[in-house]
Amino acid sequence: MEQADNTLSDTTAAPTAPWQRLMAGHGFLAELHRLYDTRFMYELEMLMAAPDPDMEDLSKGVEAAARAYIRERRNMRRRKPGAMEYRRLSALSAKLEAISIDLARVQRSPNCSVKLADALETKVQSADPSAAGIANLIDGAFGPGDPIAHISAFLDLLQEAAAETVSLGEQDTPSAYYKADLDGWFRKARKTDSQPVAALARAFRPYWERNARRPFNAGRYDPTTKQNKAYAVDAIHLIARKLDPDLTRTRVVTVMRVI
């Protein structure tokens, strides 16, 4: 009897927190710019305690920090490995390889390639926002000359990634794959809500150190305010709270002590 696979439910709650909206990915950069607007950047500049911080560099740092936070939230979606994962990923790799071969054949035929490109431009007008967004990115980056070539290159990359997920060398078998996954799962640290904050802080650290005159640490406890006094803590809290409004400063202090 096959073991059940731990897939995510198709029914998920509507995103509420800013980080959940960013996870969905629709209008990612627009949402990011809305969260980290001019007023926010002014507040962050004040925490640098430096006469002339590079605001363009800091803006890149904020985006890098937010991306690290979202990426860690994505990683936290992992569940205990299921026995079906190897079969699904290896099947996907094989199917993508077949599609890549067929698409390469189409690409070598001018008539087929042009027909497919024309149809793509027509269908994208009524496509799902995610699919339309990817098509528009390809058109924006490479122009309308040969979109199928660029889609073909991306599919090759996707196939290589799928193959990589099931590559175990000489032990490339479903049972070995499942055992390796389980071993990794049991060695993995327990998930906590501090992990995305830690990822954000690590990503922002080099930008802080280039632009601030204060150390990047948790500071010292002040019995008067009953809080740790640290500009770096305030900066990380400022950035992360835009993603999770419920985040406490105390949690940021805890993170800063261990990174």
What is the C-alpha separation between 173 and 126, in angstroms, rounded?
A: 42
Q: Helices 194-211 & 55-75, crossing angle to 10 degrees?
A: 160
Tokens read off for 93? 């790799």
Q: For residue range 127-149, what is the model confidence (pLDDT) as tens digits?
A: 998 899 899 999 999 999 999 99
Is 4's pLDDT higher than 50?
no
Q: Indicate the residue type of 234.
A: D
Task: Report d(CA 91, CA 77) in Å as an integer.
Answer: 22
| Residue (of 22, 69, 61, 25) closest to 41 by Cα position | 61
Domain locations in the chain as residue ranges: 18-76+191-258, 85-187
- pTM of the full predicted structure? 0.81
CB 242 within 8 A of CB 70: no
pLDDT by residue (tens digit) across 25-44?
778 999 999 999 999 999 99
The two three-digit tokens of residue 189, written as one number:
């640290």
Instruction: For the chain, give the percent of residues with pLDDT over 90.
Output: 63
Contact between residue 88 and residue 185 where contact means Cβ atoms under 8 Å apart: no
User: Per residue in 238-256, pLDDT tens?
Assistant: 999 999 999 999 999 999 9
Minimal CA–CA distance to 235: which of 21, 2, 44, 7?
44
Give the span between the Cα atoms of 18 and 236, in whole angstroms: 16
Rg of the chain, C-alpha, whole Å = 23
Assess contact for 219 and 229: CB atoms under 8 A.
yes
In degrees and rounded to multiples of 5, residue 76 shows phi and psi of -75, -10
Burial (CB < 10 A; 0-12, 13-18, 19+), residue 153, is middle
3-state secondary structure of 77: coil
pLDDT-based confidence at residue 87 (cuts at 50, 70, 90): confident
Q: Specify whether the CB–CB gap between 202 and 212 falls below 8 A.
A: no
